[in-house]
Amino acid sequence: MGIHDVPAGMLIDEVAKELKTKIKQPEFIEYVKSGAHKERVPDNSDWYYIRSASILYRIYKNSALGTEALRSYYGGRKNRGVKPEKKRKASGKVIRSCLQALEKQGLLKKDKKGRMITGAGEKLLYTKAQIVEKAYAEEIKKIQDKAKEAAEKRKAKKAKYEEKPETQAQGKPKEAPQKAVEADNHERGGNKAKKA
């Protein structure tokens, strides 16, 4: 399996862990938002490394990208209260900082069209994809086992429900026909007496 064969979210998280050991987060990151469209600072303290890993993956997929293209991609809709929402780009300073940090590590290189991924960058993504592949296979197996167990429980419950009425019908004592006739005649006679 290759880089495209594993879930992007899992791969980005795995690459972010690796980048955390190599890249130093700038001091201003803990005070800034990721873009003008956001209301608050991100809750995840490691969001800078996740953004860097995401940028590396995005450039790998699109061959070459510049800061403005990445700003548009990571942008979003600005909530303006009762006014209609408007598109806002992501922070250019944050994206430039990520690109420069990745370039220093030799994972990206400059090109006329923007930044391109290097062999070292591809190698990092590929090695992490191999790790993610195993974790993903285990996760799928757990989900399949749970689904199988749930299906067996439903099947057993259904079989038990279908058997229940039959056992009740067999266990119920049948009323003697003579007694039933006598009871019926008694009711009819009682009704006639009431009418009289």
Span 56-101, pLDDT tens digits: 999 999 988 999 999 999 999 999 899 999 999 999 999 999 999 9
Residue 14, C-beta contacts closer than 8 angstroms, at least 6 positions apart:
128, 131, 132
What is the CB neighbour count within 10 angstroms for residue 118?
16
Pairing label, strands 76-78, 86-88: antiparallel
- For residue 71 the two structure tokens come to 């700003």
User: Per DSSP, which regions of the chain are E strands?
Assistant: 64-65, 76-78, 86-88, 108-111, 114-117
* pLDDT higher than 70, residue 193: no
pLDDT value of position 189: 60
Between CA 135 and CA 12 the distance in angstroms is 14
Q: For residue 181, report the phi and psi dihedrals to the nearest 5 degrees.
A: -65, -45
Q: Which helix (H) or strand (E) holds 142?
A: helix 119-171
- At 120-157, the pLDDT tens digits run 999 999 999 999 988 888 888 889 989 988 888 888 88
**What is the pTM assigned to this prediction?**
0.73
Q: Which amino acid is at 136?
A: Y
CATH topology of domain 3-143: Arc Repressor Mutant, subunit A (1.10.10)
What is the CB neighbour count within 10 angstroms for residue 69?
17
* pLDDT higher than 80, residue 47: yes
Number of helices and strands in the chain (H, E):
6, 5
